[in-house]
Chains A and B, each alone.
Chain A
């Protein structure tokens, strides 16, 4: 009887698995952090951890499946922050998840900004949240004046690294320039406590280096045109003219080439995403 019932239940389970999946329900069971705080009866720290875990898994699932449906992400993170205002990781990583452009992230810098501001209000002396705020202004909103202000405010917090002052000055003076971007991402790379952030910083740095290489190659192409009186058709023309010692390659190892428009470009098969340098 036992074996029969077990076999029947397994067969039924297999049949249920074959049925088309229903639309996934909202991952936010209770949308108000205040209500959830009351319901948690003093265990709000644990409930916040569970909500943060749900936010991470929701983000990961959407990213891996390529669905890119991040509509609940902001709400999950807000509830997490309301439950445990000192869960710093939720602000720092949550802001990255929200601010990244689709399909890598939700493409909601406004929500990321609100989350980080909530984090700063609850943890005003934690300087890294100011750093994250500056990042959102710099990268996602291209508001270099606000970014410089955020870095400067962060540099005044106890324990802030000295480079925050340098960053504030660089962003104020040369916001939007590749050298400043490189400085920002180098800092992120050297302090990343997580492999996915380190990988993201590496990809941004590679894109910045490729953008710099392309700008340099375009200068050489212009020089070639002035000197030879004709447009170079390939990188080989620059080498033959003695303007390049070898065949330059981008950080992913693929050689640069000259496009139909006469401008330097990434070669086919390159894994560099130049949008990350902007």
Chain B
């Protein structure tokens, strides 16, 4: 456990040294601020636009951070040959993967917290004060974090079997498909038996990012029932376990010479 924590902390420190991270966070904060402009050029949607644009910025830039740091996490260690130093110590490959993923999730939590603080600063500037209903977007932020945890798992899985460029393409493709699973299911229901079974199976296996999307309801102050939050959280945790287990299985068998 200590070894996993040590790798996680090291990964976190390594990630925060990445200049691209700061560029993305600054850009995200600028986008959140732009919500003020969008509200002012429209009619009657100042707060809704601010929440939609703010949370979308948190999500999109979190996704970019998760993908572009996630895909190089393992590959970089192999490329620099620093992985051999780590594995020459009493560290199991599974501990290395778990530590790496935890470190990146920690980086994402900190970055999301900074972007969320920026979002609330802009919201406070717009409204003059924050009321109880204004904390509803925090639920959407929680779901964004669940999505990002899944993305980290996918990026790590691909980074264990492929080059960074291909891993980025695969991860982003899976994110897009994961947002369209509802349509995949609907398409299956209109198709013949064989295709229906295939599409239904795919929609069960692929990560359901659409189910973890909560930005639009949050913009209207709508909260998800507690039971639904719990179900979605358990789904995200279970799916992350599947992804990490698969990554560990592949990494354990990988010839690192």
Cross-chain contact A86 with B222 (CB below 8 angstroms): yes
Q: Mark A41-85, 1 if CB is under 8 A from B, else 0.
A: 111111011101100110000000000000000000000000010
Query: How far does the Cβ of B171 sit from chain A's closest Cβ, in whole Å?
Result: 14
Is B52 within 8 A of A49, CB to CB? Answer: yes
Task: Out of B43, B53, B215, B217, name the residue touching A56 (CB < 8 Å).
Answer: B43
* Interface flags, A26-52, vs B, CB<8A=1, else 0: 000000000000100111111011101
Total count of chain B residues near the partner, CB < 8 A = 28
**In chain B between 13 and 58, which residues have their CB closer than 8 angstroms to a CB of chain A?**
38, 41-45, 48-49, 51-53, 56
Min CB–CB distance B148 → chain A (angstroms): 13
Interface size class of A (residues with CB under 8 A): 20 to 34
In contact, A43 and B56 (Cβ under 8 angstroms): yes
**CB within 8 A of B180: which of A38, A44, A49?**
A38
User: Cβ of A84 and Cβ of B42 under 8 Å apart?
Assistant: no
Interface centre among A48, A49, A50, A193 (most CB of B within 10 A): A49
B55 CB → nearest A CB, Å: 8
| Chain A residues closer than 8 Å to B176, beta-carbon distance | 41
Is A215 interfacial (CB 8 A cutoff)? no
* Chain A neighbourhood of B43, CB < 8 A: 52, 56, 89, 93, 194
Question: Which residues of A sit under 8 angstroms from B215, Cβ to Cβ?
Answer: 42-43, 45-46
A to B contact number (C-beta, < 8 Å) = 68
B52 with A45: CB separation less than 8 A: yes
Known contacts A38-B180, A42-B179, A45-B52, A57 near B41 by CB under 8 Å:
yes
Interface: A276 (CB within 8 A)? no
With contacts A43-B59, A49-B52, A53-B41 known, what are 20 further pairs, Cβ within 8 A? A41-B175, A41-B179, A42-B59, A42-B179, A42-B209, A42-B213, A42-B215, A43-B60, A45-B56, A45-B215, A48-B216, A49-B38, A49-B48, A56-B42, A57-B41, A84-B216, A86-B222, A89-B48, A193-B44, A194-B43
Closest 3 CB pairs of A and B: A45-B216, A42-B213, A89-B44
23 A-B pairs with CB atoms under 8 Å apart are A41-B175, A41-B176, A42-B209, A42-B210, A42-B213, A43-B215, A45-B52, A45-B215, A45-B216, A46-B52, A46-B215, A49-B48, A49-B49, A49-B52, A52-B43, A53-B38, A53-B41, A53-B42, A56-B43, A84-B216, A93-B44, A194-B43, A194-B44
